[in-house]
Structure 1
């Protein structure tokens, strides 16, 4: 079965998937860089370029290819998901968030080609291409991401971003759904 056919076959059957069902689905796709390379574009000064590959009411699948910039600390709203490293190595930083305060980095981990990492509901993290490794990642979230919160640590601010914005402070005012001032 072709990879594009597997998307509908595997992801189209998911209904309110559990954490483990979501991981199994991402693994079952058996995605290789060759399957997504036509979808990749230059990040254009952003931390990554992202392309939605599959989207329905239950789940969304995105591929991202990374520049050498770290993305902003962010959560995925009320969504949870798995990230599969298709190529390269990512430096993944996990943050602690106290209500009304700027996030505080807890620890870093490195994930390499073939490894998975989990993004919990409201879990704040950053990612970046570690050592200019040509990082490409595949992300599967349930439900599709809505109300993602992006943090600007220097400005002590947070912003709920529109669904077409990535994990960076939006330059386009239309992408700023709600802004918040935080305590240091």
Structure 2
């Protein structure tokens, strides 16, 4: 069975999958770096390049090849999902956001090759490859991400980005669906 067929067999039956359903699907797919032919090179000046492996109305599966840059703090809109570290190590920072205040970093964690971590709905985080590793990650979200909010802590702003924009401040005006001015002070 080809990798594409295996992914389709595992993901097609999912309907409004739970946190456990999504993790179980990733475990069944059992993706390895060797499975990922023609992995996109990290984009110049961007934290990662991504390749869509599968998408339907319920889920999307993406692979990301990371540079040494970190992505911006962001949420996944109304989606939740799991991230699997296929190679390298990830430094994942988790934030708290109250209303329209600046996100406040709560903690960070390292995740190494073979580990999984969960991204709840509306949770804000940022990631980067740690220890100068060549990091590749696999992401399974439900529903497919739409309405992702990206934060620029220096500009004290956030914006809802188009589906073709990654977790960085948009380069193109059309990718900014809504820009939000944030209050500087975090209020617990």
TM bracket (short chain): over 0.9
Segment drifting more, 111-120 vs 39-48: 39-48
Q: CA shift at 1:45, angstroms?
A: 1.3
Q: What is the TM-score when the length of structure 2 is the normalising length? A: 0.96
Matches within 5 A, 1:5-154: 5-154=5-154
Asked if 1 retains the 8 angstrom alpha-carbon contact of 2:39 and 2:65, the reply is no
Uncovered stretches (5+) of structure 1, i.e. residues with no partner:
none
Give the equivalent residue in structure 2 for 1:170.
170
Give me the whole-angstrom Cα distance separating, in 2, the residues matched to 1:96 and 1:37.
37
Give me the whole-angstrom Cα distance separating, in 1, the residues matched to 2:152 and 2:30.
35
Give the equivalent residue in structure 1 for 2:183.
183
Give me the whole-angstrom Cα distance separating, in 2, the residues matched to 1:18 and 1:42.
31
CA RMSD, Structure 1 to Structure 2 (Å): 0.8
Moved over 6 A (4+): none
Q: What is the TM-score when the length of structure 1 is the normalising length? A: 0.98
Q: 1:128-182: per-residue Cα shift (whole Å, max 9, x none)?
A: 0001110000000000000000000011100000000000000100100000000
Q: CA shift at 1:36, angstroms?
A: 1.4
Give me the whole-angstrom Cα distance separating, in 2, the residues matched to 1:32 and 1:3.
11
Number of aligned residues: 184
1:155 and 2:161 correspond:
no
Q: CA shift at 1:40, angstroms?
A: 2.1
Give me the whole-angstrom Cα distance separating, in 1, the residues matched to 2:64 and 2:132.
15
